[in-house]
């Protein structure tokens, strides 16, 4: 199994980095679940194929769709952020995953960040409400993968105030709510989790 490191981590920080030309198709991590009975995998985000899936979900917000497009175009060449897609049974796209150094993210204005703090953003590309268990499975897959990298000490997740399923999944996974962000454009909660790495 090849493991691709989140942006900003070097060979000495973590597992080997995939430097092949198959970015966008290579599976970087897989996790099996029994409840529900499914397999979730992570692969690098592909702008050509994955961005249209996100646009379907955001088509009623054209300005937001344009912002997302420019964000992923930037992330594809970024040195401190990277994006992935969660697949169900290695086929169906479920959720876009963004991993970014916390100190270089806009929400760092709301809490004190350390060199080893990372932001995790999760954006479903299909409705998940009919199977609420998938929220926990997606989060568990991302956490199990990121736990492989000792340089990542903590994760911060920004969650919309109305996303009850995500909030419940975060609570079950051991995240703690650390801040409430209220602006003209959004109401979100920040959740934090600290890894305990065995050396």
Rounded to a whole number of angstroms, the distance between the first and last alpha carbons of the chain is 22
User: Among residues of the chain, what percentage have pLDDT more than 70?
Assistant: 72
pTM for this entry: 0.78
User: Into how many domains does the chain fold?
Assistant: 1
142: CATH: 3.40.630.30
pLDDT at 128 over 50: yes
pLDDT at 117 over 50: yes
* pLDDT tens per residue, range 32-54: 999 889 999 999 888 777 777 76
Answer whether residue 14 is part of any domain: no
What is the mean pLDDT of the segment spanning 14-27?
48
Cα separation of 85 and 94, whole Å?
A: 7
Answer whether residue 10 is part of any domain: no
Answer whether residue 117 is part of any domain: yes
Answer whether residue 42 is part of any domain: yes
Answer whether residue 1 is part of any domain: no
Answer whether residue 129 is part of any domain: yes
pLDDT at 55 over 70: no
| pLDDT range class, residue 79, cuts 50, 70, 90 | low
Q: What is the pLDDT of residue 192?
A: 95
Answer whether residue 67 is part of any domain: yes
Residue corresponding to tokens 């960040």:
113
* CA distance readout (Å), 172 to 95, 136, 191: 19, 8, 12
* pLDDT tens per residue, range 147-172: 999 889 999 999 888 888 899 999 99
Cα separation of 142 and 168, whole Å?
A: 16
Could you tell me the residue range of the domain that residue 171 belongs to?
29-194
pLDDT at 23 over 70: no
What is the per-residue DSSP string for 50-75?
A: HHHHHHHHHTT-HHHHHHHHHHHHHH
Answer whether residue 3 is part of any domain: no
């Amino acid at each position: 199994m090849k493991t691709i490191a989140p942006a900003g981590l070097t060979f000495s920080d973590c597992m080997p980095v995939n430097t092949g030309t198959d970015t966008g198709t290579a599976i970087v991590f897989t996790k099996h679940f029994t409840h529900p009975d499914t397999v979730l995998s992570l692969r690098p985000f592909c702008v050509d194929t994955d961005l249209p899936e996100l646009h379907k979900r955001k088509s009623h917000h054209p300005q937001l769709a344009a912002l997302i497009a420019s964000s992923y175009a930037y992330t594809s060449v970024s040195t401190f952020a990277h994006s992935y897609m969660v697949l169900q049974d290695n086929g169906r796209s479920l959720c876009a995953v963004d991993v970014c150094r916390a100190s270089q993210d806009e929400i760092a204005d709301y809490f004190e960040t350390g060199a080893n703090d990372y932001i995790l953003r999760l954006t479903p590309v299909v409705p998940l409400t009919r199977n609420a268990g998938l929220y926990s499975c997606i989060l568990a897959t991302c956490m199990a993968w990121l736990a492989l990298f000792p340089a990542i000490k903590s994760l911060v997740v920004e969650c919309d105030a109305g996303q009850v399923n995500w909030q419940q999944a975060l609570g079950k996974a051991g995240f703690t709510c650390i801040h409430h962000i209220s602006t003209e454009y959004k109401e979100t909660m920040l959740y934090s989790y600290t890894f305990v790495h065995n050396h």
